[in-house]
């Protein structure tokens, strides 16, 4: 299976990004209207599932936004992994 | 959290490797002997390059936090390209001369090589003598996979896992695959691995390889990939 990444805008928006992650896992579009809603859906989707997520070329350096993004991801099963590529050392240190 | 370093190692490593190959080139030595170029220069050049190679990994690591190091690396890069240029020219002269019955280069060429070689050695020497170089850690191995392991824990309550910094490229994929199959010993924490490096160093390629690896299908229920 070839890598078909979902590309998101450079603007870091936790809601949009969470939705993009959900869509990428589901392989279908999502119509969540706000962050709460999409986080709930992603939690539900990942709950107890062992997942693997790649975030390619991350630029965002804001710790709060990353923490918010990670909230639903913590519902995945033990052993779930996130692989990040970045040009910024700081990104790696705040993740 | 583990940080995988795939930065300039490939770039500098490749250039240095090419240079070392050329410097070991027996025919190049012949050329130098026949044209009465100074063989000592070649040895000196190699010695400087070996010194550069020894600290380059650490310098590349430090360039992100120190602009002086970045400038130093820029100058080193220039010098390395000059060295490659010069050796290529000598290679070319050599191949041209081999076609002729008598092995002879124009004396102007030879003296120009000689002065360029001297310039280059001086340049590398002065780069190596800069104060900044003293702070660089020396890594072992010349032109090899250069793998160092430096680990340090971050004292942040929010950090997800302990940090581990890995230099070198050869083992990158293996390290990632190992990480993928390792069971996190901390239940509540997400396991995150960051690949840090300059643009065009192959981070994305590496991530793609991993994403498409059969291990993912075997070990994970679902996967997703996002690019920014």
3-state secondary structure at position A54: strand
Q: What ipTM describes this predicted complex?
A: 0.84
Q: Which of A64-68, B54-58, B104-108, B168-172 has the highest mean pLDDT?
A: A64-68
**Least trusted range by pLDDT, from B23-27, B115-119, B161-165, B184-188:** B161-165
- State whether residue B227 sits within 8 Å of chain A by CB: yes
B 42-71 → A contacts, CB under 8 A: 64-65
pLDDT band per the 50, 70, 90 thresholds, residue B228: low
Q: What is the pLDDT of residues A56-74, one digit of tens each?
A: 888 777 888 888 999 999 9
More confident residue, B25 or A93: A93
Name the pTM for this structure.
0.48
Tokens 């410097």 belong to which residue?
B23
Q: How far is CA A27 from CA A20, A37, A53, A81, B156, in A?
A: 10, 18, 13, 19, 36
Mean pLDDT, rounded, for B141-158:
30
Check whether A47 has a pLDDT greater than 60: yes
Phi/psi for B21 (5° steps) reads: -60, -45
> Domain spans of chain B?
8-135, 149-219
Tell me the C-alpha to C-alpha distance, in Å, between residue A4 and each of A76, A87, B96, B112, B223.
Answer: 22, 21, 50, 53, 11
pLDDT tens-place string over residues B189-212: 678 888 887 766 777 777 877 888
Which residue of B lies nearest to A93 if distances are taken between CA atoms? B1
When scoring A6, A42, A52 by the number of chain B Cβ atoms within 10 A, the one with the most, hence best to mutate, is: A52
Q: Does A47 touch chain B (CB under 8 A)?
A: no
């Amino acid at each position: 299976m070839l890598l078909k990444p979902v590309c998101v805008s450079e603007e870091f928006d936790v809601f949009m990004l969470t939705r993009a992650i959900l869509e990428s896992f589901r392989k279908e579009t999502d119509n969540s209207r706000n962050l709460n809603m999409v986080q709930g859906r992603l939690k539900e989707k990942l709950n107890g599932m062992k997942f693997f997520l790649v975030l390619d070329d991350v630029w965002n350096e804001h710790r709060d936004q990353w923490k918010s993004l990670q909230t639903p991801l913590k519902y995945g099963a033990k052993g779930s992994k996130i692989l990040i590529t970045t040009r910024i050392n700081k990104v790696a240190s705040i993740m | 959290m583990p940080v995988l370093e795939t930065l300039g190692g490939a770039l500098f490593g490749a250039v240095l490797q090419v240079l070392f190959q050329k410097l070991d080139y027996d025919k190049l030595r012949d050329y130098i002997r026949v044209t009465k170029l100074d063989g000592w220069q070649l040895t000196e050049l190699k010695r400087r390059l070996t010194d550069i190679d020894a600290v380059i990994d650490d310098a590349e690591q430090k360039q992100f936090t120190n602009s002086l190091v970045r400038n130093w690396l820029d100058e080193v890069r220039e010098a390395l390209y000059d060295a490659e240029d010069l050796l290529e020219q000598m290679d070319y002269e050599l191949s041209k001369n081999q076609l002729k019955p008598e092995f002879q280069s124009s004396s102007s060429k030879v003296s120009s090589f000689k002065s360029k070689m001297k310039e280059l050695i001086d340049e590398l020497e002065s780069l190596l003598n800069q104060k900044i170089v003293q702070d660089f850690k020396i890594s072992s191995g010349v032109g090899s996979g250069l793998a160092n392991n430096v680990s340090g824990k971050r004292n942040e309550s929010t950090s997800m896992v302990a940090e581990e910094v890995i230099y070198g490229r050869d083992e990158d994929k293996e390290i990632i695959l190992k990480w993928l199959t390792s069971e996190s010993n901390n239940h509540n924490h997400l396991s995150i691995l960051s690949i840090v490096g300059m643009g065009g160093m192959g981070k994305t390629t590496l991530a793609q390889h991993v994403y498409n690896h059969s291990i993912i299908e075997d070990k994970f229920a679902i996967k997703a990939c996002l690019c920014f």
